Structure 1
Amino acid sequence: MRFAVTILGSNGAVPTADRHASAHLLESEAADILIDCGEGTQLQLQSAGAGVGRIGLILITHLHGDHYFGLPGLLTTLALTGRTAPLRIISPPGLRAKLTHLLDLDRYALPFGLEFVEHAASARSVVAEMADLEVLAFPLRHRIPTNGYLIREKSRPDTILKDQLERFAIPVEAIPDIKAGGDFISAEGQRIPHAELTAPAPAPRSYAYCSDTAYFPELSAYVRGVDLLYHEATFLHDLAAEAAEKGHSTAHQAALVARDASAGHLILGHFSARYRDVEQHEREAREVFARTTAARDLYRFVIPYSGRRGN
């Protein structure tokens, strides 16, 4: 079952030649989800070989331009390529007002429904469901209202063992009750325990996106047990005071969140353009949390089944 994240943009407010503004694409069996849409996102989608037609939901963390200025171009491209399926965009309040007048300047109206859902997270809560996925928003601490997002698979029922079905001649109509946790009682009155008839389903996988935010220890509780954590690391820790002043984090602080959340893996991103490379970010974070990778544009992270259960 597909569950993977492609880094479309890993830089902060000012893009560089090889690091674009913020955007991630989560691919799943149900649909693709775009998280943030900075300038150049649709070009990065093309470079990644990702089709825009499968995007079923867009999540915007906050209303700073480097996180949503790519939306008008992307929406126009979706219209020109024949999209008719409705599209939902979740963001803090104000995005509709910022985009509507610009889209009205276009010659043609969008041929698909565009739903704006405004949500300023104050606690962790479910904001969307898509087939086998649910999306939760939680508050970050930046200079304006900012959402973090947690995307996770829904729990699946245990898998029925085909050989056991044949062995005990279990009828099809009995399978739903077994999947729901029940035992099977044969025509002879023999009780076959649920555990003998099923194998546990894989633990749901999860991905959390935390950009932009100042460090605050409580954040780890929102993403507890997440398989893959993306956390901004705009600065190295020698600039911790500047990071706090601007509502950002350091690589060291991102690692603290990952460690305290017992995350599976940490990806650092949203780097300041002052850094020509980000190897030092990776080294700094690994001193606290070894399973850390500094984001590179167009890297694709496949999230495997791990048996971990959290968040």
Structure 2
Amino acid sequence: MTLTVRALRADDPRDAEAVAIVRRATVPYLVCTAETLGWEVAHAPAGQRLRWIVAERPDGTVAGCADAGLVAGSTEPGQGFLHTAVPPGTSGQGVGSALVAAGEAYLAGIGVRRVHSWVAGDDRAGGFAGRRGYARSRQARFLGLDLRRGALPRLPEPLPAGVTLHRVAEFAEDLRPLYEADVECAADEPGDVSVGRTPYDEWLRHNWQRPDWDLELSSVVLVDGQVAAYSVAQTDGVERYWSAMTGTRRTFRGRGLARLAKLAALRRARAAGYAHAYTGNDATNAPMLAVNRRLGYAEVATEWRCIKQL
């Protein structure tokens, strides 16, 4: 099949919609809309050097896509990422190979020496990555929960002494306390790349100003007035809910506060009409895996972080 590999047309909504459809078909657990995709293209950090790549068939339809760039905030030079998406049932047509070649050429041109990619946990995807020099590093798990049929636990009544539940929207005028909690929790996340502290303005711009992050559904737990735990809600505005990040500050861990924050967010999401909830965890993150299973989540897929030296 003859393919045209080109950059995403950022000013063409039809291009963004076609790429979003491919992404949803390939990784149905993530939230991806044309609006959010367009926003990411327009507002990606300049230092990330983000580029979206499209593989187009002769009839003009999008057969696959990829996003590539520098790992934002990395303290190690030459760290890049490349994620490809080719819908199920269309393998073997050269789409993935064309996207990987274009993505690696772009990354090499901007000085990347080490490429990080998330690859589906099945043998077909693993074999494709392995043949192109990508070695497995760490595993992650996608977990799903049917909000229409799942029996969510009740919120505890009363809450423990000194503990209060809030929506992130209540902090909209000053999200700095949440920022401090997020920076601390993110530093403890398992990963392959060391990332420095993100400045507050940048964190605000590239997180809470996203069109798919919901301040009304996202939860914050205070203990004696301090931010102790939180759970961020990301949605497609229709039926799909993704837990973008759930964390507890170090001094408050072991008290069930992450579960409390996430449960409150899930219950609000169900009340708002969302049907499908998904989340993801590193396979070594036993505490959050346990929290999610207690909430009723079940594993729906796995993926691997794969790394290649350019």
Higher relative contact order structure (alpha carbons within 8 Å, sequence separation ≥ 6): 2
Q: Which has the higher helix share?
A: 2
The structure with more radius of gyration: 1
